[in-house]
């Protein structure tokens, strides 16, 4: 899940997102290395195969499910307006031309999600990324998928704050998120809880990072976007 090169600017990713018919699950996002498509029923068996891997279960703090349970989870995500999931495709693995609506199972390498379930602030989203296929790690796909998802969340859903919860032992994800921004705000060790707070700004193609003294200062200064990264022993 670690990225080897910088991902494209947020403005480019927003411009290349295409809405096929306007509904949830019917549009895709095109990046330089990654292509993000809706999580459809056709993807579920391959996704289920991934989640039989004990290492992935541990990294994602997930429990093993049966295939029928996986289909039910997919159905609930599809119907929930507060959850948005994309399957990440490796563009190099797509056979022939990309066709909107084609699940392109052969190019599936992971998924990226946002959950807007903070009842106190509807503009906060939890963000997750998983690159399950080893052959597609270290190519910048994970970093690009995160930035694509964040740019779309800001543009379409008005999200200004992102939280990512990562196991302290998940070194690949830690490296990925540390590459997104360069400034560490603080590290707190409390009852084996490790908190990293990072700030990221996205202004239609302008991406930069800066350390602030407190998180609430970001509201005072009118900043557009905060990435709040929480690492826990999941």
Question: What's the pLDDT tens digit per position in 138-159?
Answer: 898 998 898 888 888 877 888 8
Cα 173 to chain centroid, rounded: 11
Consecutive H or E run containing 86? strand 83-90
Average pLDDT, the chain: 71
- DSSP lists the bridge partners of residue 226 as 161
Distances (CA, A) of 48 to 51, 52, 58, 85, 110: 5, 7, 15, 15, 12
CA distance 52 to 189: 32
Band the pLDDT of 26: cuts 50, 70, 90.
low
pLDDT of residue 25: 54
Ordered DSSP codes for 84-141: EEEEEEEGGG--SS--TT---GGGEEEEEEEE---TT-TTEEEEEEEE--GGGTTSSH
What is the pTM for the complete model shown? Answer: 0.71
For residue 229, count CB atoms less than 10 angstroms from its CB and return exposed for 0-12, middle for 13-18, buried for 19 or more: buried
Torsion angles phi and psi, residue 136, rounded to 5: -105, 5
Band the pLDDT of 24: cuts 50, 70, 90.
low
* The CATH fold of domain 10-232: Aminopeptidase (3.40.630)
Query: Hey, where are the domains in the chain?
Result: 10-232
Q: For residue 151, give the nearest of 22, 34, 12, 26 by alpha carbon.
A: 12
Three-state DSSP class for residue 136: helix
Residue range 39-53, pLDDT digits in tens: 999 999 999 999 999
């Amino acid at each position: 899940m670690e990225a080897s090169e910088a991902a494209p600017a947020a403005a480019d990713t927003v411009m290349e997102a295409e809405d096929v018919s306007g509904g949830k699950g019917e549009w895709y996002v095109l990046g330089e290395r990654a292509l993000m498509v809706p999580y459809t029923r056709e993807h579920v068996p391959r996704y289920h195969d991934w989640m039989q891997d004990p290492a992935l279960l541990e990294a994602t703090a997930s429990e093993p499910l049966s295939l029928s349970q996986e289909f039910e989870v997919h159905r609930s995500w599809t119907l929930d307006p507060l959850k948005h999931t994309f399957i990440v495709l490796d563009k190099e693995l797509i056979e022939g031309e990309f066709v909107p609506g084609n699940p392109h199972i052969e190019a599936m390498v992971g998924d990226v999600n946002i959950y807007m379930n903070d009842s106190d602030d509807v503009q906060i989203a939890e963000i997750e990324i998983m690159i399950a296929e080893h052959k597609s790690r270290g190519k910048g796909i994970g970093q690009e998928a995160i930035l694509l998802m964040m740019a779309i969340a800001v543009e379409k859903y008005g999200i200004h704050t992102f939280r990512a919860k990562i196991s302290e032992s998940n070194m690949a994800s830690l490296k990925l998120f540390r590459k997104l921004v360069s400034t560490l705000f603080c590290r707190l060790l409390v009852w084996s809880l490790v908190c990293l707070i990072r700030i990221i700004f996205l202004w239609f193609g302008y991406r930069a990072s800066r350390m602030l003294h407190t998180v609430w200062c970001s509201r005072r200064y009118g900043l557009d976007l905060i990435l709040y990264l929480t690492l826990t022993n999941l």
